[in-house]
């Protein structure tokens, strides 16, 4: 298996390209793995409220370096296990908050006055609210709650399995450390996904991809063949790409702070 270290493009049949950029959450990627600045807009698989969270984490880091990371670790769970392991990897700048790669792209967009889209719907969206309620119901089922008692061992088992499947990135100074960090993050992501079901994951992916297509359609209004870059957690990228290839319906989506016409 070749791990997702480079961007993957999906050409929208209506025009334009969605450029999926695989990143490791909470880690700074080397320049060799970052996409070039040849895109016309950026879309995040997040809600617009993430901007406020990034601002809060920035303020925390300015007042006390590492405080945002420490707070996340204190929260416990698989996220804490991921962050603690990342701290042991010497050659990588991780863990860091705000999430370095998405936050960097958001800053580039802001400085360059480039459109930025947040594709996760809000809780005022009835369809999305129903999805969130179904996720909560599934996560609270007794077998899953009992499984949390053995979460540490299950994370370690997940990490052992995924680490064997990760190839090292080419052309970088610290390929081994990057691969280790990618495995630690992938194990966390897979544990998060295990709290859901295949049907729920498909509902989520399809809705987000429809809104990605909507963001690209909005961008086409000012640029006939735009490139919309989308930072995606490495281990999630293949699922998002597979969903896009089914050509989900286009759902209108406007940039952050703008209203749909």
Average pLDDT over residues 4-21: 97
* pLDDT tens, position by position, 44-68: 999 999 999 999 999 999 999 999 9
Average pLDDT over residues 135-154: 69
Residue 22, SS3?
Answer: strand
CB half-sphere exposure, 14, CA atoms < 13 A = 18
Dist. CA 150–CA 147, nearest whole Å: 6
First to last CA, the chain: 44
* pLDDT tens, position by position, 88-142: 999 999 999 999 999 999 999 999 999 999 999 998 999 999 999 999 998 887 5
Dist. CA 191–CA 200, nearest whole Å: 15
Which residues contact residue 162 at a Cβ distance below 8 angstroms, ignoring those fewer than 6 apart?
A: 183, 186, 187, 190, 235
Q: Over 60: is that where the pLDDT of 1 sits?
A: no
The residue among 216, 158, 160 whose CA lies nearest residue 190 is 158
Would you list the domain boundaries of the chain?
8-244
* pLDDT tens, position by position, 206-229: 999 999 999 999 999 987 799 999
């Amino acid at each position: 298996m070749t791990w997702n270290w480079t961007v993957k493009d999906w050409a929208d049949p209506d025009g334009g390209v969605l450029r999926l950029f695989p990143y490791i959450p909470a880690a700074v990627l080397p320049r060799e793995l970052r996409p070039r600045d040849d895109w016309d807009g950026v879309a995040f698989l997040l809600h617009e409220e993430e901007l406020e969270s990034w601002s809060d984490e920035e303020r925390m880091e300015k007042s006390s370096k590492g405080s945002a990371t420490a707070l996340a670790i204190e929260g416990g769970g698989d996220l804490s296990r991921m962050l603690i392991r990342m701290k042991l990897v010497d050659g990588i700048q991780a863990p860091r908050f705000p999430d370095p790669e998405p936050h960097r792209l958001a800053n580039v967009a802001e400085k360059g006055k480039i459109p930025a889209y947040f594709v996760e719907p809000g809780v005022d969206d009835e369809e999305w609210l129903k999805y969130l309620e179904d996720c909560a119901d599934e996560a609270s089922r007794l077998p899953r709650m009992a499984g949390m008692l053995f979460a540490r061992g299950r994370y370690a088992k997940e990490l052992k399995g995924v680490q064997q499947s990760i190839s090292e990135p080419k052309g970088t100074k610290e390929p081994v450390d990057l691969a280790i960090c990618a495995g630690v993050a992938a194990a966390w992501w897979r544990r998060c996904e295990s709290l859901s079901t295949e049907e729920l994951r498909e509902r989520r992916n399809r809705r987000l991809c429809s809104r990605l297509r909507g963001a690209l359609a909005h961008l086409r209004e000012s640029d006939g063949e735009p490139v919309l870059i989308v930072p995606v957690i490495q281990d999630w990228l293949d699922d998002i790409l597979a969903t896009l290839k089914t050509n989900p319906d286009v759902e209108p989506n406007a940039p952050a702070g703008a209203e749909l016409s």
